[in-house]
A and B are shown apart, each in its own frame.
Chain A
Amino acid sequence: MSRYYYYLILINMIANIISAVPTILLHYGSDGAVSGLLIGIMLGLAIVICFTKFFNAFPGKTFPEMLVETTAKWFYYPLLFFMAVLWFIAGVSTLITYTFMLIRYLTPDIPIMIIGLTLFVPIIFGCFMKTDRVLYAIEIVFLINFPLIIFIIIKAYTSKDLNWDFIKKSMLYIVQMPNINVVTSCIFLFLGVVNLVVFNRFFTHKQHFGLKQVVVISFIAVSTIFTTYFIPIGFHGLKSIDELIYPWVATSDSMRMRYFLIERLVYVFLLLYLAMAFLSILIHWHVAVELFKFIFKLEKLKLKGINVGNILLVALFAVCSLYLIVTLTEYQLFQYSIYLFNISSIIFFAKIMLFVYIARRLKGAGDQADNN
């Protein structure tokens, strides 16, 4: 597979360390989180494999184009609209979480509107780039930050303050019934592959997707999820870890760099995850923007040669996200994130059925064309 494909999956997994995912996982720490994670990993891998196989079979085609060819209008417009809204919300949830985190830890004196806006402006400009440029931007930012992520993870595992007894103790909760919220938020970690609905435009050549690729992805997934869930437990104990609103910020604050310029790792962590949050929102919103463009034919809305449609969309995004940033509380964010994860995992499972249907129609059409 092309390396850009891995970026899509990897960024969604890594960036979710700062979203509500670890909070949800740790909230159910003694209520079936570990078994839930195991099931989530299996189901998530199934989604990754199905989505990749499907989009790989039709190189260069986006999902809306396929739907136009195979299904009726009354079906695909609502479907795409719903998906676009869902993906917009996924981006917003990361944006809100990160804004909250910034105001809590890095810049407590700056008004929350301004923080939200400074994050919003570069992201929204990025979203309107062409798909291939978005991918190039992702690659540059990701390659700069990846070594630092590895550094933090190595730092965490080699710290002598990481108590493995806590980890082992929490691991033994594997015998419990899996918790459904944990399963769905674990599946959400894998949903980076869903971005192929638009990003498939870039992958114009058919690529090899075999056992080796699956093994690589499962290795990445298992190690990221293990780190996301167990490292905070090793540093803070299982009991009352759900009291920590941002478990990973607290965890990175518990590591120290004795001989570095700054001793507190938390500032490195926050700046690093600024980049990761940027990438994650950029990917989600690029998909959302492209889908909205397709549904409302925004490119045709022109007033005196100026593209009004795009401006309208930016304004809509800005108003919605800033409104949510100002009004939501942390508890609401947590609750709504659970709903988002539940809905999105159900939707994307249902979509696999749709894929079977579309694939048959498209193949049939292809065969007919060959016969003629």
Chain B
Amino acid sequence: MQAIKRIITKFLILMTVSLMLLSGCGEFKDIDKMVFVSMIGIDQTNDSKKPYKIILKLYVPTSSFRQSSTPQYSYLIKEGETLAEIISILESHTDKELDFGHSKMIVIGEEMLKNEKNKEILDFLIRRPDIQMISYVGMGRPNAEEILKFVPKGETALQPTLFNYFDNDGAESSYIITSFLFDFRRRLKAEDISPILPIIEIDKPTSHFIVDKSIVLEEDKPPYELDSQKTMLVKMLSGDAKNIFFSVNRENEHFVARLDNIKVNYNLKKGENNNLSLNVKIKLVGIITESKKNLSNKELPRYSKLLEEEMKEEVEQLIHELKNEGYDPIGFGLRYNAYTLPKNRMDSKEWMEAYKNAELKVTAKSSLKSTGSVQ
């Protein structure tokens, strides 16, 4: 027993001494040897040999928040033929290791989107394991570089303001479409739902971002832009909007309703000869927040009726427009396929034809609960 104990003691001493020989983690890079990328921007150049331009927005580390309360960023910009090549060259432009693990936003320039190189961009972004699948994707207008380089007033060193627009934490606007990288990928790959991206613009005089429009992509077609009202309706129909403000102007009434309980249901039925009928049912509950005239509590049912009519008209107009142009950001095609056996499904050409000629029926039901604090 004594002998064993002695052996164990000797062994432990030997182990402890051998720790001295360790040189630390040779393969692990310390945090001061790394620089964190906050946003990635991808732009199109005029040079056909070097079509891509990558802009990386890097955090400049500060020792404390008090020391520099205004944010500081540095930028790396490079043009080249392939994205991975550009990144590897950019790594030689900085003294530290580039870390993409904290990058939360990908901005694609407007020109780039028009040239339909999305699959190549996507391939690069997905293939790199350190780029988050939950990064936000957006389109930069006029290009990605300006969006990345723009620091709005009031931005603190804590976080770039642009993230707050999309994470539904700060701003909860129903005009902002949030598109994650994985969502962009699945829509781009699937034939029956079109990718939709928010458009990020800069409002120069007051110096802040505006994100209230969106752009719908489709293969072999130019991107299709939706203005803010249509963006809101698309978001509502996709079931993502928490609350919307909707203005009604008919029959001498002009009021704005805040609808905070929205339920949207749609289905597609196929009749003979690929005749599709598309039924959209919308249920709305809300209150009136503004009116040009005095309102009467008694007449709430009538206001609801007006709201229903207005909503029906606008939604019908939007869907007609989308299907005539052949874009499907809401995913009607996907819904149709979700209830159709594989052998009965249409191929994309037949589907496009059927979708264009689909018979649309929108029913809206709303109940306005109050006229607000005053009648």
Contact = CB atoms under 8 A, between A and B. Distances in A.
A binds B: yes
A371 interface: no
Nearest to B25: A110
B169 A258 contact: yes
A109 B28 contact: yes
A169 interface: yes
Interface stretch (B46-54, B181-189, B213-221, B365-373): B181-189
A173 B344 CA distance: 11
Contacts of B183: 161
Contacts of A175: 341-343
Interface string B10-37: 0000000000000000011100000000
A166 interface: yes
B340 interface: yes
Interface in A236-259: 236-240, 250, 253-256, 258
B291 interface: no
A250 B185 CA distance: 12
A264 B334 contact: no
A161 B240 CA distance: 10
Nearest to A176: B342
Given A175-B342, A263-B134, A250 B182 contact: yes
B289 interface: no
A120 B225 CA distance: 55
B167 A258 contact: yes
A249 to B, nearest CB: 8
A256 B335 CA distance: 26
Contacts of B180: 161, 254
Contacts of A165: 331, 334-335, 337-338
Nearest to B187: A237
A255 B189 CA distance: 19
Interface residues of A, number: 34
B189 to A, nearest CB: 4
A161 B169 CA distance: 16
A111 interface: yes
Nearest to B189: A240
A235 B240 CA distance: 16
Contacts of B271: none
Interface string A313-339: 000000000000000000000000000
Interface in B334-371: 334-335, 337-343
Contact of B133 (A104, A240, A254): A254
A109 B187 CA distance: 33
A105 B133 CA distance: 13
Interface bracket on B: 20 to 34
B191 interface: yes
A46 B304 CA distance: 59
Contact of A110 (B27, B335, B340): B27
Given A109-B28, A172-B340, A258-B167, A166 B133 contact: no
B129 interface: yes
Contacts of B182: 161, 235-236, 250, 253-254
Contacts of B89: none
A168 B331 CA distance: 13
B60 interface: no
A30 interface: yes
B342 A264 contact: no
Main secondary structure of the interface of B (DSSP, over half): loop
A168 B345 CA distance: 14
A258 B183 CA distance: 17
A109 B186 contact: no
Contact of A237 (B130, B133, B189): B189
A173 B342 contact: yes
Of A173, A237, A239, A258, most B-chain CB atoms within 10 Å? A237
Contacts of B191: 239
Contacts of B28: 109-110
A258 B134 CA distance: 11
Interface string B179-221: 0101101110111000000000000000000000000000000
A240 to B, nearest CB: 4
Nearest to A264: B132
Interface string B128-140: 0110111000000
Contacts of A168: 338-339
A327 B130 CA distance: 24
B235 to A, nearest CB: 13
Of A110, A111, A169, most B-chain CB atoms within 10 Å? A169
Nearest to A263: B134
Interface in B163-181: 167, 169, 180
Contacts of B133: 250, 253-254
A238 B192 CA distance: 11
Interface in A101-122: 104-105, 107-111
Of B169, B187, B331, B342, most A-chain CB atoms within 10 Å? B342
A109 B99 CA distance: 12
Contacts of A240: 189
A105 B187 CA distance: 25
B186 A166 contact: yes
Contacts of B335: 165
Contact of A239 (B132, B190, B340, B343): B190
A43 B130 CA distance: 40
A235 B186 contact: yes
Given A168-B339, A169-B337, A253 B186 contact: no
B339 to A, nearest CB: 7
Nearest to A234: B186
Contact of A111 (B27, B169, B189, B331): B27
B129 A169 contact: no
Interface string A60-76: 00000000000000000
A16 B242 CA distance: 38
Contact of B129 (A105, A109, A173): A105
B369 to A, nearest CB: 25
A38 to B, nearest CB: 16
Contacts of B27: 107, 109-111
Given A165-B335, A254-B134, 6 more contacts: A160-B240, A172-B339, A175-B343, A237-B190, A238-B190, A250-B133
Interface of A: 30, 104-105, 107-111, 160-161, 163-166, 168-169, 172-173, 175-176, 235-240, 250, 253-256, 258, 263-264
9 contacts: A160-B240, A165-B334, A165-B335, A166-B186, A168-B338, A169-B338, A175-B343, A237-B185, A250-B182
Q: Which 7 residue pairs across A and B have the least CB separation, nearest first?
A: A237-B186, A168-B338, A253-B133, A254-B182, A165-B338, A240-B189, A169-B338
